[in-house]
């Protein structure tokens, strides 16, 4: 059943996205390993958009399930390529 919801704070989400992006760019200027910091930041941004801008947090579970099928398929592709070609990011990322 569809229910009534308060709207998410779209401006707060936007500000969070901008701050996270700025943090990502800043990290590239610091002497720290990039991969373990940047990937979680990037995924956080993607999750913010999908939950609040695409409303999956509030919408029918069916849509979340469909989206997750795509994400699991994506994970399968990533794992397959990693097994086929070796850890993909390590050859160029120090």
Which residues of this protein are in contact with another protein, per CB under 8 A? 2-8, 10-11, 13-14, 17-18, 21, 24-25, 27-28, 34-35, 38-39, 41-42, 45-46, 49-50, 52-55, 58-60, 62-63, 66-67, 69-71, 73-74, 77-78, 81, 85, 88-89, 91-94
Closest CA to 60 of 1, 14, 6, 20: 1
Give me the least distance between CB of 76 and another protein, in Å please: 9
CA–CA distances in Å: residue 55 to residues 22, 67, 83 = 24, 12, 35
Give me the least distance between CB of 82 and another protein, in Å please: 8
By three-state DSSP, how is residue 70 classified? helix
Give me the least distance between CB of 27 and another protein, in Å please: 8
- Length of the chain (residues): 94
Cβ proximity of 47 and 12 under 8 Å: no
Give me the least distance between CB of 78 and another protein, in Å please: 6
């Amino acid at each position: 059943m569809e229910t009534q919801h308060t709207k998410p704070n779209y401006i707060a989400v936007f500000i969070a996205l901008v701050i996270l992006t700025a943090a990502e760019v800043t990290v590239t200027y610091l002497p720290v390993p990039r991969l373990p910091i940047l990937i979680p930041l990037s995924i956080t941004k993607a999750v913010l958009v999908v939950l609040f801008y695409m409303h999956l947090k509030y919408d029918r579970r069916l849509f979340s399930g469909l989206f997750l099928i795509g994400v699991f398929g994506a994970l399968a592709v990533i794992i397959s390529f990693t097994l086929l070609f070796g850890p993909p990011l390590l050859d160029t990322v120090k």
